[in-house]
Structure 1
């Protein structure tokens, strides 16, 4: 019997985790649309401080198809998701199903049907979002920037809610990024892809753990992980600014000769130029720092995630520098 693996990271989701488990189990019930498949549901808890862990223990004790990874601390959603993804043993793997069910589990059977027909990446696209206009606008700007700068396309409104074939999974988990941008990794792998639009629902219970700073951090990671265009733009801009400065110096020199050596006026111009170029330099240094920080994290080769405990997990992924159990 073929197996479908589903990965659900969670953090302080005691109001939602049981509903997520029940929604997935109903799909694979004898009367469900995926009854012919074996189910594997992997929860990755990011050191929750509420009763999420106790609920997961209870669910796993009653349901052997549920696997639980307990992290030693909060490593962020992408690292936790990617680490749990490495435990998937299914023939097809749903990369991310949020426990708040904003991405609808009822779409999974349709995704599986497309996978059965040979589509290797079936991606859900949040065509309609039950969120504020400001957030929708920021997301649109982000995707436009990334797709303009990178050598491949990350489809707009496509997140980690994607069903991928086992061969795609092998490519994805072979990456050794310390801060994996999963949707970018899947897009860079290629393979046959189909995009299914759906409505991204508003959260019914609890509050989102993604604040503005975390969303900005994720966006910056997406930009700097897959393109060197920002640094290349800085190089061209720096060359252009230097050329303009030389041209300006030549003009000042000519004006000084024509005025028979009198000191040219322009103190305000000098002050404005000084602050402007100082700002440009700081911007360049900041961009360079983003790349250096990413390189530093890769070179250190520390564990991407430290696990405290595994529940119902028999097969442990191959040991690597990015993973170990505390």
Structure 2
């Protein structure tokens, strides 16, 4: 019997974790009855009753594995750490416990996987959310596809079913701040995209506020492209050339018409502040890359776990860690 692993990260989701568990169990008692179930919950140090509920569920169902983090390490790191524990023949990378990604899509995902596709990716064709967030997400996907050399499908998140061989390739990526959907897109393999409606949350409060979404977007951009640094180089050269041309033109104007040539004070002030602003922007972009390098070099554990429940095996190690 083939096994399907489902990863569900959680943080302060006491209103949703049980419903998520029941929805997945119902699927494997019905249309997916021919498959073995492995449901892995990763709790990111919730301050509510989420961990207690997960303990109760795991105590009554050996198909449920629970990883409790010692603190909140962020959604991406917690997800990637939980992904290392998957033992299935196919892995649903992320099923949000708020059920905004409909669990029933897993039936179609498994069917397509069995037909030969190694990555079955859900695309949020319809989003039940505000215009600002929809527009921001659309801009991000188009921007990263423009800047990077990978094809990141528009509106595709981590709601993807991947084959075991894809899972192994994903875990070879040794990244301290993994952008999981980008890693999946970068490894290749045969992929099909299935559109669906991303539902509005019915219980609890979303933890993905606008600032966190911006941080996730920047992580994706800086992880998969050096285009911002290259743009800084081009703009720096262009500004230097423009300043030389302006200086040359101002000198010629002074000798031809000294009475109408600018006295220079205003020009210097404008140039100084403009160039200072550009330099600060470039330093900020460079700092983002330096910070990423700093985190990679210092290493340390991606996630520190406080407790594991129904987990017997050690997680899959990345290539660098294993070495």
Gap change, CA 1:9 and 1:164, over 3 Å in 2: same
**Aligned 8 A contact 1:305 1:322 in 2:** no
Equivalence map 1:199-238=2 (5 Å): 199-238=197-236
Other structure's SS at 2:290 match: helix
The aligned counterpart of 2:11 is 11
1:213 shift after superposition: 1.1
SS in 2 for 1:305: coil
5+ residue gaps in structure 1? none
1:159-178 superposed matches below 5 A? 159-178=157-176
Give the structure 2 partner of residue 128 of structure 1.
Answer: 126
Which secondary structure state, in structure 2, belongs to the residue aligned with residue 296 of structure 1? Answer: helix
Measured after TM superposition, the shift of residue 259 of structure 1 is 4.8
Provide the C-alpha distance between the structure 2 equivalents of 1:319 and 1:127, rounded to a whole number of angstroms.
Answer: 35
Runs of 4+ in 1 over 2 A off after TM superposition: 255-264, 318-323
TM-score, structure 2 normalization: 0.96
Q: Find the counterpart in structure 2 of residue 33 from structure 1.
A: 31
Structure 1 position 257, deviation (Å): 2.9
TM-score, structure 1 length as denominator? 0.96
> Residue 79 of structure 2 corresponds to which residue in structure 1?
81
SS in structure 1 at match of 2:104: helix
Give the distance between the partners of 2:220 and 2:173, measured in 1 at CA.
15
Deviates more, 1:248-257 or 1:4-13: 248-257
**Aligned partners of 2:208 and 2:129: how far apart in 1?**
13
Partner of 1:210: helix, strand, or coil?
coil
For 1:203-239, what per-residue CA distance to the aligned partner results, in whole angstroms no more than 9, with x for missing partners?
0000001111111100100111100001001100100
Contact 1:96 1:161 in 2 (8 A): yes
Q: Which residue number corresponds to residue 113 of structure 2? A: 115
What residue number does 1:241 align with? 239
2:286 corresponds to: 288
Secondary structure in 2 matching 1:195: strand
SS in 2 for 1:28: helix
Matched-pair contact (CA < 8 Å) for 2:173–2:318:
no
Unaligned ranges ≥5, structure 2: none
Corresponding position: 1:303 with 2:293: no
Query: Residue 250 of structure 2 contacts residue 261 of structure 2 at CA under 8 Å; is this kept in 1?
Result: no
